[in-house]
Amino acid sequence: DIKTQTESSSEAVSVTVIPTSVSPTRDLHFHLIHFNLNVKLTVTPEKVTTIFGQSTVEFECVKATDLILIHSNKLNYTTLDNKHIARLIASGDGSTPSIKSSWLHLKTQYLVIQLNGKLSRGRYQLYTEFTGELADDLAGLYRSEYEEEGVRKIVATSQMHPTHARKTFPCFDEPAMKAVFYITLIHPIGTVALSNVCLNVSFSDIFNTTIDGVAVTQTKFEPTKKMSTYLLAIIVSDYTHLYATQGDVIRIWGRRAAIEQGQGNYALNVTGPVLDFFQSYYNISYPLSKSDQIALPDFYFGAMENWGLVTYRETNLLYDPVTSSIRNKETTATIIAHELAHMWFGNLVTLRWWNEVWLNEGFASYVSYLGADHAEPTWSVKDLILLDDVHRVFSVDALVSSHPLSSKEDSIILPDQISEQFDVISYSKVHRHQKDLILKLFKSSFFFLQGYLNHFAYSNMIGNDLWQHLEMAVEANNVSLPHPVYDIMNRWVLQMGFPVVTIDTSTGKVSQKHFLLDPESNVTLKSPYNYEWLIPVRWMKSGVVQRNIWWLMEKEVVNVDMKSGSSWVLANINVTGYYRVNYDLGNWERLLSQVALILFSVAQLVSTNLALRTTSYLLVETEYIPWQSALNNLDYYYLMLDRTEVYQPMQDYMKKLVTPLFLHFKNITSEWTHVPDRLTDQYNQVNAIRMACTTGVTECQKLTTTWFKQWMDRPQHNLIHPNLRSAVYCSAMAAGDEAEWEFGWSQLKNATVASEASKLMSALACSNNTYLSYTLNPAMIRKQDATSVITSVASNRVGQGLAWDFVREQWEYMFTQYGVGSFSFASMISGVTARFSTTAELQQLKEFEREHSAAGFGSATLALQQALERTTANINWLQQNKQEVLDWFNSQTGQEMH
């Protein structure tokens, strides 16, 4: 029930709203036809005014109703001549019932319009006039500020995803309610207005006037394609751009100084090849006539796939060849590929509701590597999927507080619940789901994606629609599967977590079990499949890959071929399946080079000693992927033990391991004067310096402090190679004092390249001089960066406690005053609690939950539950393993490692 006050009566009115009619998506009272949106913006450097808007939504009523629910949030409505804040008009000669009352329901963010009678079938228009603040909250239509040549400038820009279009204008703000948008912007003369589509060149109405003393003009855009509200983009700025014509117009927009310095060149060069790749991959032409991409000084997300006008943080779109690193360059390529992949998979064909975010994000995450690989074939970025995505998602999905990829529609209703869905599970889990199976089907049916995208173009779909089209590919190409596609895939989509497959090579027995980080934790979320999976196992014996995929379809079976004797067995080759594999001790002994053992020790499936022994091979290893895999897994040991007596023996051991790697890169780079050729070697050179300095290799520490001092002596001449700056800055800040910190802060404030500013921002947290309080002052730290600063401080063993105290003290202020568009509350909770491993910290976390339960935790609700679960698991692990780990590291000190 929605209970509120009417305008004419002091009595509470109860309006019954059944779940199916709360959202037009499920009930389909209305079919949208188009939105007319007229927005006036009078933005000057001296004055920021409110937004003035006029909105007309035309819809078709397909089911009689006396209640209209349209989303609205933080808008102030003008009372019209009918004495109400909305006017309902029938198209043609029809009539409409009058409006009885209207009110705003804050929790669901609805403008509720109660009618005196029922709407009959037909077309109608709903007209409103409203104002809103052009705030700096990074949500809806908001302002972003920057300084250029001493002049303060403002960009009016937008972030509608996932539920912020309603903050810009009243709308049916749901992905299934697609419409055509007619956008007109009134903006200051001298600024440029951008939206999803091109300007309407046939529009000839000259409009020049003044509003609040500001001379303004009018820009009218072509009608958009039929699309969802969350993909709408509106931007007014004095930016300039680069462009190229490659079938369609490609433009890169940014601050004038950044574009003139060439920071947009790489993005322009990479966009064309990526678009060409996806047009070929999907076998469908790019759906729009232009592709704009724009870099914003203030932006909550990394990027947003608005159809035809993609928005980015500056660090993710702009690349400066003088100061940006190869990692920055790879990030630009892969994020551009991710966003452009959405132009088809997400924008042309869209999920029906937010309970299946993976339909948009998971596929785009996977094919982004393919698009980037096409644009930069020498990088072999496809090899990085395992490190960048799989390791991240495994750690979260091993918790009982994880969640399935798909949930019930009616379980995801409120905006905070929607925001929670955009986590590592939705982005990174799906493209590991039975990669062997899906790729096999994609390759076997050239027209699969084309047929699927054409069938649902300008419409919406659910997960089962994807499985039906995959099943069609199976049947058309005579692909042999043990079960129908939906039966295989639903077990991975409708169940949280993943299995561990245990192979006993002495008997051939193979079993599966739900993998949990804490095996003693209690799984309360029921599964429709009792946490059993249909598992494709690609495996090899003694280096020979078995020809066919073997399917594990029961809890426990015997595969006599896996009874190996003295031979070794390796399953889930290249981690193409979304599961872990464990073996009997004899087979593990034969596979000691496999770094993945470390995680099994955390989950108490193998002994800690056996897991740690696998790291000894790093002494002679120089390749990036093995090193990074080991460091990812050893990170847990550091988090648990770097505040205990185990820390120094562990540091001594790691120092021994990394010293040969440090000397290797010193040698192949001719005393650090050259850059390695391969992308992965450049990445591992960074690992070598970072780990050598943090573990106390004297030569490394002298090297980084010398480089940094040379820069301090000549601030205009930074000779530190961009690839190495993050590691060098951090090392020098950690070893330095206030002078180094103040120099780093001054360089941050004067940085003109966003990627350089980002490196300095992280490095400042490596010092004992924390700057947590700056995150509450946007003039010191931009709102978009506040969360990353807090988590960077927390990642420093000295700063972790300070960051946790700061979050506890400032939570209410941050949560109520900054809001969803400024802080990533989920990542902040995860970051500041990552080291929690004592009963005292668990108690503090419970008290924090209790103290703020009334206000709630918004999009961090799930992250808080995961923090509680992780802390409990960490306490148990530490109690059981700390002494054994200490003894093992002590046993390595002064000994030759094998």
Range of lowest pLDDT (42-51, 156-165, 244-253, 497-506)? 42-51
Segments of 255-356 assigned E as strands: 290-296, 303-304, 309-313, 349-351
Domain 498-604 has CATH 2.60.40.1910: yes
Helix, strand and coil content of the chain, in percent to the nearest 5, comes to 45, 20, 35
Contact 185, 218 (CB under 8 A): yes
The DSSP code for 606 is S
Q: Matching CATH topology for 21-237 and 350-494?
A: no
Instruction: Quick: pLDDT tens for 793-833.
Output: 999 999 999 999 999 999 988 888 776 666 788 899 999 99
pLDDT at residue 22 in the model: 32
- Whether 18 has a pLDDT exceeding 50, the answer reads no
Q: How far apart are CA 806 and CA 658, in angstroms?
A: 35
- Whether 203 has a pLDDT exceeding 80, the answer reads no
- Whether 846 has a pLDDT exceeding 70, the answer reads yes
Instruction: Quick: pLDDT tens for 418-445.
Output: 988 888 888 888 655 545 555 555 444 5
The DSSP code for 79 is P
**175 cis-preceded (ω within 30 degrees of 0):** no
**Sole residue written with tokens 């992949």:** 341
| Every domain of the chain and the residues it spans | 21-237, 350-494, 498-604, 770-877
Distance of CA 687 to the CA centre of its chain: 24
Instruction: Quick: pLDDT tens for 740-770.
Output: 999 999 999 999 999 999 999 999 999 988 8
Higher confidence at residue 443 or residue 279? 279
Phi, psi of 412, rounded to the nearest 5 degrees: -125, 95
Distance of CA 36 to the CA centre of its chain: 31
pLDDT at residue 21 in the model: 33
> Which residue from 82, 39, 31 is spatially nearest to 58, judged by alpha carbons?
31
Q: How far apart are CA 163 and CA 230, in angstroms?
A: 7
Q: Could you list the residues known to form a binding site, using ranges.
A: 338, 342, 361
- Whether 582 has a pLDDT exceeding 90, the answer reads yes
Q: What is the mean pLDDT of residues 445-458?
A: 82
pLDDT at residue 520 in the model: 86
Q: How confident is the model at residue 1 (pLDDT cuts 50, 70, 90)?
A: very low
Contacting residues for 696 by C-beta, under 8 A, at least 6 apart: 651, 655
Instruction: Quick: pLDDT tens for 7-16.
Output: 232 222 222 2
Give the DSSP H/E element, type plus range, for residue 34: strand 30-40
Q: How far apart are CA 802 and CA 481, in angstroms?
A: 54
Determine the 3-state secondary structure of 337 from DSSP: helix
Known catalytic residue at 339: yes
Percent of the chain with pLDDT over 90: 71
pLDDT at residue 44 in the model: 65
**Annotated catalytic residue, options 174, 339, 376, 869:** 339
Contact 835, 396 (CB under 8 A): no
Q: Could you list the residues known to form a binding site for Zn(2+), using ranges.
A: 338, 342, 361
Q: Which residues pair with 182 in a beta bridge?
A: 36
Contact 85, 102 (CB under 8 A): yes
Range of lowest pLDDT (202-216, 514-528, 846-860)? 202-216
Q: What is the mean pLDDT of residues 484-509?
A: 95
Phi, psi of 112, rounded to the nearest 5 degrees: -100, 125
Range of lowest pLDDT (67-71, 115-119, 203-207, 854-858)? 203-207
Q: Is the pTM of this model over 0.85?
A: yes
Q: What is the mean pLDDT of residues 34-61?
A: 83
Q: What is the mean pLDDT of the chain?
A: 89
Report the relative pairing of strands 180-188 and 30-40 from DSSP bridges. Answer: parallel
Instruction: Classify domain 350-494 by CATH number.
Output: 1.10.390.10
Higher confidence at residue 171 or residue 385? 171
Q: Which residues pair with 700 in a beta bridge?
A: none
Q: How confident is the model at residue 895 (pLDDT cuts 50, 70, 90)?
A: low
- Whether 597 has a pLDDT exceeding 70, the answer reads no
Contact 682, 665 (CB under 8 A): no
Q: How far apart are CA 95 and CA 113, in angstroms?
A: 17
Q: Please state which of the four CATH numbers 2.60.40.1730, 3.40.50.300, 1.10.3720.10, 3.10.20.740 is assigned to the domain occupying 21-237.
A: 2.60.40.1730
| Burial class of residue 76, CB neighbours in 10 A (0-12, 13-18, 19+) | exposed
